[in-house]
Amino acid sequence: MKVAVCVKQVPNTEARLRVSRDGKWLEEEDLPFVTNENDSYALEEGLKIAEKTGGEVVVFSLGPERVKDALLKALAVGAARAVHLADPAFLGGDALATGRALATAIQREPFDLVLTGSQSDDLRFGGTGSIIAAHLGWHGNDLGRLGKMLDAMPNVYAELGAVLYDLGRQPRGGHDFLVKYQDRVMFGKDAFEPSEYPYYWRVLETNDEYFDYYRNYHAFWKLYGLGLPDDVLKKVYYKNALRVTPGLPKTGWPQ
């Protein structure tokens, strides 16, 4: 497998830290930086996967000149290549901007897997990797807007829990949206209520018309089935989650 691993540098927490004059960050002069610990775990796992599969690891990092140190250390332990995103325009960007820049660079090659650390040790960001927008990002009533968001942010996925009422009142638009973005939407639920699941199955799987929502709030209108194809349903129900969350069990799922 060809594996991309994203790494970053963070201040060494054992060093003396001084807040910058503007109060927004730390004084970096003479401040030692180290590779983010969780990114080191991602790199270690990526190297194990590459060794087992006869593949390679390419490391990516975004930041100033000093991040080359983290890239050189990654090369020293077995990474095949390193990519440094050094444009000054990237500096000061938030997790979303950083994620978009990294995603754009990674998409230039056909990687089988992308790994990042679960969070950073400095700002505690955990969204530079895949971002899951719960409840369709609250854009279920404007799927065109949600589509534009997914087009602009290749590391963002949407989850449809608790907004069934929005999809179920626009069966044609909902069907076309989920077919178009079948690789970017996953099933979710914010409460373990098995008695409610059949309503999701009915909306997503059938062509039934004009049936009641399962609660007497959220929606006061009838719902319609989207009649999604089986291959799309499998992606929404579990295949997308398996791809985005490599730690999930790989067995026991229907084929």
Per-residue model confidence (pLDDT) at position 90 = 76
**pLDDT at res. 125:** 56
CATH number of the domain within which 31 lies: 3.40.50.620
User: Sign of dihedral through CA atoms 246, 177, 254, 252?
Assistant: positive
Are 26 and 10 in contact, with CB atoms under 8 Å apart? no
Give yes or no: residues 142 and 107 share one domain.
no
pTM of the model: 0.57
Residue 167 has pLDDT above 60, yes or no: yes
Q: Are residues 138 and 46 in the same domain?
A: no
Q: Is the same domain home to 94 and 192? A: no
In sign, the C-alpha dihedral spanning 40, 46, 52, 54 is negative
Closest CA to 116 of 231, 56, 32, 39: 39
More confident residue, 228 or 152: 228
Structural domains in the chain (count): 2
Number of Cβ within a 10 Å radius of residue 194: 7
User: Are residues 37 and 65 located together in one domain of the fold?
Assistant: yes
Residue 11 identity (one-letter amino acid): P
* Predicted pLDDT of residue 121: 53
Query: Does one domain contain both 23 and 106?
Result: yes
**Over the stretch 57-93, which tens digit does the pLDDT of each residue have?**
999 999 889 899 999 999 999 999 999 998 887 776 7
Report the C-alpha gap between 62 and 83 in whole angstroms. Answer: 9
The rounded percent of the chain whose pLDDT value lies above 90 is 49
Q: Are 132 and 105 in contact (CB under 8 A)?
A: no
For residue 37, what are the domain limits? Answer: 2-115
- Token duo for residue 100: 């978009």
Regarding whether 203 and 135 lie in a shared domain, the answer is yes
Q: Which of 47, 82, 115 is the last residue of a domain?
A: 115
Q: Give the residues across from 19 on adjacent strands.
A: 26
| Digit-coded pLDDT (tens) for 94-125 | 776 777 788 889 989 988 888 888 666 565 55
| pLDDT (average), residues 22-42 | 75
What's 189's domain CATH number? 3.20.20.140
Residue 89, strand partner residues: none
